[in-house]
Structure 1
Amino acid sequence: MLAGMLVFLALVFGGHDALAEPAATPSHAATTPANPHLSQAQAQQLLGVLDDPARRQQFETTLRNFAQAQGSAPATTAATDSSPTHVAAHAVRSNSLGAQILGGFGDLNHAIGAETHAILRTVVDFREVGPWVRSIRTSPGRRDAVLAVVLRAAVLAGVGAVLFVVVRLLLIRPRRHLSDRAQARDAQDRVEEHTDQRAAEDAADADAAASAEEEAADAAEAHAGTPDPATGLQAPRPEAAPAPAENPDEQKAAHQKAEDERVSRIQHQGALARLMRVIRRIPIALASLLLDLLPVAMVPLAAAVIGAFDQTDLDASSDVLRDLTLVAVAGGGLVAVARAVLAPKRPWLRLVIIHDAVSVFLFDWIRALAMVTSIGAAVVVMLSDCGLPDPVVIALLKMLALLVHGMIALMILSSRTHVMAFCRRLAHRRYASGIAIAVGRIWWIAALALDFGLWLVWAAEVRNGYAEIWLLFVRSIAALVIVRIISVALFGGLERGFRAVPAFVGLSEETRGRVARYYPALRQILRIAVALMIVLGLAIAWGVPFAALFGAHGLGSRVLGSLLTILIAMAIGAIVWEIANIGVERHIASLESFEDGKARVARVRTLLPMLRTILLVVLVAIIGLTALSEIGVNIGPLLAGASIFGVALGFGSQKLVQDFINGIFLLLENALTVGDAVTLNGTYGIVEHLSLRTVHVRANDGSMNIFPFSSLGQITNYNRDFARAIIVAEVAYDTDTDDVVKALIDVTADMRADPDFKDLIIADFILWGVDAFNDSSVTVRGTLPTTTQGRWPVQRQFNRRMKKMFEARGIVIPFPTRTLEIAGLDALVNPRPEVRHDDSVSS
């Protein structure tokens, strides 16, 4: 009630001053009453206080104290309002931009002043040490309590140190055994890593050579691999086609690019090998960490034993044991973790791939920081348990933090050499050399600013500032480390995949060179993905609402899903493309085993560019439509328009499409080849040219006959697999057919002994027998199996030799004869004497 009256009187008597500030602000003027209102009950209550002398005296004393307290406020306000910033703010127009800017500077000045006051108050807080010391000296009870706390802290420190040393000595042999085992395992891992490194180098060299050969073959094919005008077929790709001459600068750039590609692949393999080596060290490192934590665990054990034997009921005794135990466990655990991760002078146990000098440097500084922090915190905690005032405890903690941050500053300055060496190695590897050197020169400035900025934030007592900055820093480092591990796994897995897949699938050198071209593109995609992961990881570490972005209907999840869908579609398209190419190449390899393998290979290579173009168009159309669909484009009208266009094209070029499709299948089925003797639609001739739509046949009379493939109803090809020379012998009726057969066999034997014809005849003469009885001859028929090219030469030569053989052996080859009987022909030629009876002439 008294407080309420004081507030009321302050509003009554100080109403004009109190409301002067809100009156200048429209927002406050709307909510704050212009004149305070005194109710009847409050007036009666005030009169009752004034009528009672005792209560009136108490009220006067309270009012006097209140007035004295309020007397300093106007002075402060006046001093604040008289500052140049506030004077300038009042000088400008209200709610103007200048007023807002000046008001902002004023708020900043006020905030800086308050934080500076909080820092300077640390020195003032030490004034309470004297009264605390005097209270201990004059109060026996407090002195006994302080002595009890100090005694228990000393006992804990002594017992804990003894147990720590004893346990650590007992663990020397297990630690040594574990270290020897890890060293042996590390030596084996290094041998495997070296072997893997050599394999990666060989694979990189092989892929580079295959890619160079593929590029040279493509260039040679572009310059000299055009279809032959005489045959219409593309010649087989040469085994080693010379590459066209290049500009020396282009050659140098290509060589440098290939070398960079090789170095990059080897580095990715090495990074993955080191990561796998570290992963294999984790079990032994954890075991070593447990052995290091066992001595630290002796401190809680000592505290428990001391607490069990302590019969006093002082809360300070149990508090100091608990606090000192926590400090010792935290400091010892930090040192144990640092030793397990850095493993100074024991690289076979180290979980980070750094040099021994860097490992020793970091561990020494971390151990020194942990020791100073632990000892200082233990002293401050013990003093706090002894009853040291909280402001002094906070001031001591600030001083301890300043000492620790000063040591960190010295550590930063001492590590400049190591960091600069690391940046120079990065620059030597061509990883943004200029940026790496610049970072190596100026990083320590930012590190020192962050170091002392952290202490200032804590010393200024910014609410949650110190913890938030440290948490942000740790989250950022954790995000970068996780992304680095993922990137090493991705790039190393990509390198191992390109090294293992060609050998596993059994790809040819040509295919391997083509597949090697995918590596730079995939590596670039992985770089973009890693950059996005870095941005995403840092955004999550810095508090970006991840759930809102990547929720069920968030923008991030939709973008990520669309990108994954497009990448999967592109990957499937690339796999289909390569499977088709590999299938065609294996088919070409199988065709080379045939006798006419070169012609078949040439025919397939003639069709190959067209087939690849069709497949590429189909894949690009499907992937493009998928990408358009994922980014939100309605592909329904596109599909409808394409369908209508396809139907119109089909109707308009039906005959052309039919010629095209029939030509593809006829060529794939090896129905026709340039140089074949064929009969097409009743026309015999030699195939001189083939295209995808027509076939050109040269007839025996020299005329060129051009047939569209769609018009071919029947194709007779005389040049497939083998041929037969048809042997027909016409002999007289009085000739012995056995003599005829023997003569034919002898002619065959003579021709098979002739070097000009022995390679054209593939078997002996096959007698079919007596085929027909003619008017004046008997037909003996047989065949002589020949190659496809030897049918007509063998048949013509056999007929020539057969005629000579028949003449030599007296075998008559009859020719058609006719006998005519003419009445009276002899009388006219040879007249006779007349006789009395009739004569007749017959012939």
Structure 2
Amino acid sequence: MNVRRLLFPIGAWLLALLLVAAPAQAQEAGAPGAADANATLAELLENPETRQQLIDRLRGLAEAAPAQAADGALAEPSLPRRLAEATSRIAGDLGNQLSGLVQALGGLFSDGLGEDGTFDMAAFVGAAINLGLVILATVALFLVIRRLARPVFTRLSQWTLTGQGLQPLIRLVIGVALAALVDVLVVALAYVGGNLVATFAVGESGELSTRASLFLNAFLVIELLKAAVRTLFASRYEGLRLLPIAAGDASYWNRWIARLIGLAGYGLMVVVPLVNAYLSPTLGKAVGTLIMLGAYAYAVAVVLGNRQRLREALNRKAGQTTMTASRVSLQLFARTWHLFALAYFTVVLVLTLTRPEDALPFVLLATLQTLVTVLVGMLVSSFLTQTIGRRIRLGDDLRRKLPLLEPRLNSYVPTALRVIRAVILIGVAMVVLSAWGAFDLAGWYASEAGRGLVGKLVSVFLILVVAAATWLGLASLIEHKLSPETGGGVPSARAQTLLALFRNALAIALITLTAMIVLAEIGINIGPLIAGAGVLGLAIGFGAQKLVQDIITGIFIQVENAMNTGDVITVGGVTGVAEKLSIRSVGIRDLNGTYHIVPFSSVDTVSNYMRDFAYHVGEYGIAYREDIDEAIQALRNAFEELSGDEEHKASLLEPLEVSGVTALADSSVNIRVRIKTTPGNQWAVGRAYNRLVKRHFDAAGIEIPFPHTTLYFGVDKEGGAPPANVRVMPRDAAADDGSSERRLAASSPDEAPPEVHNRGDED
């Protein structure tokens, strides 16, 4: 029993290991110690006491596992500590590699690295000569074939610059794609020729040496990368250059990037493997490190040396840009481009030092994805700018029917371009981060959150597009109805007022519905919002009853067509022209130019002087001694003359209506006439007719009474009037004393004194 108790801890740990590493034990079941362990475990399980102790022990281990995991999580190093550890590890690796390089060089010159302990110089020289012949033949074939293909590049460049029938950007993309295809064919032919030379002309016939294979594979990869760079910085062919830079700048950057690619590519893909194979792996690793450090130093020197030059070029390009977003982006990139370049080369160096086995393929693939993504984003943005970024021009007929459609579209385009460019920028950034392993784009999109976010963004975009298209369509239809040049002709005042009100109501309703649908689509519960809006509306209804009355009265006024914009009306005691008509008030400009705003709640009666037709009603008084029929004829003659007037004859709807004598007034006989006119012209017609009536009355000698005064000198008791003591003064004397009074003497005392009349309507 004591022996079994002593074996209990061993059995417990064995069982734990079996449970954790069951597959490993299953694979090693045939091992010599496995049978003894299984027998001991079976013996422990047969005893109830040891079995219970084993169960208790396993439960204790299970309970302690979460606490240990939590302690481990708490003890996980922070990001600064991990960065410090990575930096320390890289520095240690560099030190070890330098030490290994020194030892390898010492061993190379002391002990030799051949199989028999000596360095075989003859074999080394032969291998170097064969490799040199392969390199020379491959490079010569590449230069000759590229020289033969030069006319093709020239013609493609001329076509992209001067071709017709396509947009310049589309021609550029097609020309660059064809040139890249020709460039790839040139590299492929040179690669195939190099393989043939290495197989049949150099070394043993029919065999391709490892050395030649390393170079040819490196040649294929590096020249393809250079061909990709030439699509951006084609120095000889301006029409095949994707980036809009000068030929000198393109030549400089093309030459510099080609040198960098050749140095790093041939060094890591040819020199390092050969050193590993023929000299020492340690020496090869050290040589690779030195190559990368040299390439990094060269790249940093070039970037810092061209920092200000490229910054000025980007600022000049930004000054030529018309869109604000593009200008700001270019100015920001001009200040920070060197930081991105230094970060890129630093990441490449760190990856090469920390992951030498797979760093080069990863860096090449990530760089290629980055270049392609950025290039595609730039091309799409440029294509959109050339396609819809300029001012939209509609046809003459469509612009005549819909006069506001073109300016409205041109006002929407810059906003749409800014949104699309922002989406393109975000997409490019996400793809670039995914290419470098900083963000798992595919995994994020495969997740529920990623798919949900993309779906919501697409839905919101479609909703906004549909809302904008609906507004454009309906607003254009309203403008079509309001345009006097369309098939409907000049719209009536009522149609103008109702359509204007409908357009405003449509805008408010569309904005509200779109906002509600967008909020619901992005996951916001709009139920409380709608309920709150209902409560708020109820509170506003109770607190602003006057406003509600204004709106309701305004609706009925519009339905009954009581007034329209431009009508002369009397509303709320104010008479004038209705300049602005809303759903709750009317703006009136009176004769003095004063602008009145009359709310509809204060309107009891609407007097409209502009509905269907109007009348000029005139009453003309003549003296009692005049002939009424002669006066009526004079009025008719005046109307006939008015009917012949080019200015006013179009406003007359019916012949003159003579109502006759309407009153025998105190000092005149009044005759009423009425002239039916078009609405709004009754005042002008009335003024012109009054002028003609005065002229015709004067020509006929018909007196129009005016105010006069009768001088009464009184009578005596017998009823006789005493003579007036009137003296006639000379005209000059009357003028001297400033008096206009005439003094007259009665011819005899028995005659009545003369009356001095001041003609008028009163005695």
TM-score w.r.t. length of structure 2: 0.57
Q: Which amino acid aligns with 1:117?
A: N
Answer yes or no: is the 8 Å Cα contact 2:101–2:283 preserved in 1. Answer: yes
Q: Which amino acid aligns with 1:351?
A: L
Distance 2:331 2:144 in 1: 53
Q: Which residue is equivalent to 1:135? A: 116
Pick one of 541, 549, 555 that aligns with 1:661: 555
Pick one of 368, 372, 392 that aligns with 1:499: 392
Q: Does structure 1 residue 395 correspond to structure 2 residue 283?
A: yes
Q: How does 1:377-526 map to 2 (within 5 A)?
A: 380=271, 389=277, 392=280, 395-396=283-284, 398-399=286-287, 402-403=290-291, 405-427=293-315, 429=318, 431=328, 439=336, 446=343, 449-450=346-347, 452-454=349-351, 456-457=353-354, 464=358, 467-468=361-362, 471-472=365-366, 474-490=368-384, 493-496=387-390, 498-500=391-393, 506=399, 518=412, 521-522=415-416, 524-526=418-420
Q: Which amino acid aligns with 1:282?
A: V
Distance 1:477 1:183 in 2: 26
Alignment root-mean-square deviation, CA: 6.5
Q: 373-382 vs 398-407, which deviates more? A: 373-382
Q: Which residue is equivalent to 2:242? A: 351
Answer yes or no: is the 8 Å Cα contact 1:650–1:657 preserved in 2. Answer: no
Q: Could you report, residue by residue, the CA deviation over 1:493-516 in whole angstroms, capped at 9, with x for unpaired residues?
A: 5523x5346989528887766665
Q: How does 1:116-155 map to 2 (within 5 A)?
A: 116-126=95-105, 127=107, 130-133=111-114, 135=116, 153=131
Q: Which residue is equivalent to 1:212? A: none
Answer yes or no: is the 8 Å Cα contact 1:344–1:360 preserved in 2. Answer: yes
Shift of 1:186: 0.9
Distance 2:367 2:226 in 1: 20
Q: Which residue is equivalent to 1:182? A: 157
Percent of aligned pairs sharing the same letter: 16
Kindly tell me: are residues 492 and 300 of structure 1, through their superposed partners in 2, closer, same or farther at Cα, counting changes over 3 Å? same
Kindly tell me: are residues 746 and 408 of structure 1, through their superposed partners in 2, closer, same or farther at Cα, counting changes over 3 Å? same
Q: Which amino acid aligns with 1:409?
A: A
Answer yes or no: is the 8 Å Cα contact 2:131–2:211 preserved in 1. Answer: yes
Shift of 1:626: 1.4
Shift of 1:411: 4.3
Distance 1:336 1:696 in 2: 72
Q: Which residue is equivalent to 1:559? A: 453
Distance 1:396 1:367 in 2: 24
Kindly tell me: are residues 106 and 766 of structure 1, through their superposed partners in 2, closer, same or farther at Cα, counting changes over 3 Å? closer
Q: How does 1:86-485 map to 2 (within 5 A)?
A: 113=92, 116-126=95-105, 127=107, 130-133=111-114, 135=116, 153=131, 156-157=134-135, 160=138, 163-164=141-142, 167-168=145-146, 171=148, 174-176=149-151, 178-183=153-158, 185-187=160-162, 275-276=169-170, 278-286=172-180, 288-290=182-184, 292-293=186-187, 296-300=190-194, 302-303=196-197, 306=200, 317-369=208-260, 380=271, 389=277, 392=280, 395-396=283-284, 398-399=286-287, 402-403=290-291, 405-427=293-315, 429=318, 431=328, 439=336, 446=343, 449-450=346-347, 452-454=349-351, 456-457=353-354, 464=358, 467-468=361-362, 471-472=365-366, 474-485=368-379
Q: Could you report, residue by residue, the CA deviation over 1:340-388 in whole angstroms, capped at 9, with x for unpaired residues?
A: 542223222223333322322233234445555676678748957xxx7
Q: Which amino acid aligns with 1:666?
A: E
Answer yes or no: is the 8 Å Cα contact 1:655–1:710 preserved in 2. Answer: no
Q: Which amino acid aligns with 1:183?
A: Q
Distance 2:677 2:449 in 1: 75
Shift of 1:306: 0.6
Answer yes or no: is the 8 Å Cα contact 1:786–1:794 preserved in 2. Answer: no
Q: Which amino acid aligns with 2:459?
A: T
Distance 2:587 2:163 in 1: 70
Q: 1:590 aligns to what SS in structure 2? A: coil
Shift of 1:278: 3.3
- Structure with the larger helix share: 1
Q: Which amino acid aligns with 1:120?
A: S
Q: Which amino acid aligns with 1:506?
A: R
Answer yes or no: is the 8 Å Cα contact 1:675–1:687 preserved in 2. Answer: yes
Answer yes or no: is the 8 Å Cα contact 2:183–2:227 preserved in 1. Answer: yes
Distance 1:441 1:403 in 2: 22
Distance 1:383 1:707 in 2: 95
Q: 2:243 aligns to what SS in structure 1? A: coil
Distance 1:443 1:707 in 2: 64
Distance 2:551 2:652 in 1: 47
TM-score w.r.t. length of structure 1: 0.52
Answer yes or no: is the 8 Å Cα contact 1:672–1:717 preserved in 2. Answer: no
Answer yes or no: is the 8 Å Cα contact 1:483–1:534 preserved in 2. Answer: yes
Q: Could you report, residue by residue, the CA deviation over 1:787-836 in whole angstroms, capped at 9, with x for unpaired residues?
A: 444599599999x99x99xx99xxxxxxxxxxxxxxxxxxxxxxxxxxxx
Distance 2:73 2:496 in 1: 82
Q: How does 1:764-775 map to 2 (within 5 A)?
A: none
Q: Could you report, residue by residue, the CA deviation over 1:188-241 in whole angstroms, capped at 9, with x for unpaired residues?
A: 58x999xxxxxxxxxxxxxxxxxxxxxxxxxxxxxxxxxxxxxxxxxxxxxxxx
Q: Which residue is equivalent to 1:837? A: none
Kindly tell me: are residues 336 and 532 of structure 1, through their superposed partners in 2, closer, same or farther at Cα, counting changes over 3 Å? closer
Q: Which amino acid aligns with 2:187?
A: L
Distance 1:317 1:530 in 2: 47
Q: How does 1:66-81 map to 2 (within 5 A)?
A: none
Q: How does 1:558-707 map to 2 (within 5 A)?
A: 558-577=452-471, 579=473, 581-583=475-477, 587-590=481-484, 600=493, 604=496, 608=500, 613-636=504-527, 638-639=529-530, 659-667=553-561, 673-675=567-569
Answer yes or no: is the 8 Å Cα contact 1:480–1:534 preserved in 2. Answer: yes
Distance 1:331 1:695 in 2: 78
Answer yes or no: is the 8 Å Cα contact 1:299–1:325 preserved in 2. Answer: no
Q: How does 1:53-64 map to 2 (within 5 A)?
A: none
Answer yes or no: is the 8 Å Cα contact 2:179–2:240 preserved in 1. Answer: yes
Answer yes or no: is the 8 Å Cα contact 1:320–1:381 preserved in 2. Answer: no
Q: Does structure 1 residue 532 correspond to structure 2 residue 426?
A: yes
Distance 1:529 1:166 in 2: 45
Distance 1:531 1:443 in 2: 16
Distance 1:320 1:279 in 2: 39
Answer yes or no: is the 8 Å Cα contact 1:761–1:786 preserved in 2. Answer: no
Distance 1:95 1:767 in 2: 109
Shift of 1:290: 4.7
Q: Could you report, residue by residue, the CA deviation over 1:592-623 in whole angstroms, capped at 9, with x for unpaired residues?
A: 999999x949x957994x65653343223212
Kindly tell me: are residues 349 and 763 of structure 1, through their superposed partners in 2, closer, same or farther at Cα, counting changes over 3 Å? closer
Answer yes or no: is the 8 Å Cα contact 1:323–1:381 preserved in 2. Answer: no
Q: 2:453 aligns to what SS in structure 1? A: helix
Distance 1:578 1:161 in 2: 62
The unaligned stretches of length 5 or more in structure 2 are 1-9, 22-31, 37-70, 319-326, 589-597, 618-628, 657-672, 702-763
Answer yes or no: is the 8 Å Cα contact 1:409–1:448 preserved in 2. Answer: no
Answer yes or no: is the 8 Å Cα contact 1:549–1:556 preserved in 2. Answer: yes
Q: How does 1:11-50 map to 2 (within 5 A)?
A: none
Shift of 1:98: 10
